[in-house]
Amino acid sequence: MSSPIAPAEDGGRRGEVADASGGDRGRIADALYWVRVGAYSLASLLALSLLTVGTVAIIAEIKGTWHWAIHLESTISYMGIFMGGLLALLVPLLAVSLTARVVFDV
C-alpha cells in the first residue's frame, strides 16, 4: 500500500482518474487510505490483545497455581473491556471501508 501523497508511475496521484471529477475522487481515495490505516492498526491491536490473553492462559495452565489463575481472570476481564472498545471502533471503520470500496471502486 503506497502513501496517498506518493506519485504514481504515470505522474498522477494514486486514486485519481482522468475525467473531470478526478480531484474529488483523489480526495476520497486519500480519506479511504487513512480509514484503512486506522482499521488495520486497530485490527493489529486486537490480534496482540488476543495473543496476550493466550500467553497468560498458557502460563496459567503450565503453572497450575491459584496465583496464575487470578492473573488469568484479571487479564481476561481487562482485555474484554479493551477488545470491546476496539471492536466498537473497528466495525464502523471496516463497514465504511468495504462500502466505499464497492460504491467508489477505490
- Give the Cα separation of 45 and 18 in Å (integer): 38
Q: What is the pLDDT of residue 64?
A: 87
Q: 56 Cβ partners below 8 Å, 6+ apart?
A: 68, 71, 72, 75
Q: Give residue 91's pLDDT.
A: 94
Show Cβ contacts of residue 74 under 8 Å, excluding neighbours closer than 6 positions.
Answer: none
pLDDT of residue 106: 61
Per residue in 40-98, pLDDT (tens digit) is: 999 999 999 999 999 988 998 999 888 888 988 998 999 999 999 999 999 999 999 99
Residue 22 backbone dihedrals phi, psi, to 5 degrees: -60, -35
Residue 18 pLDDT more than 50? no
Return phi, psi of residue 13, to 5°: -85, 155
pTM: 0.68
pLDDT of residue 49: 92
**Where in the chain are the domains?**
45-104
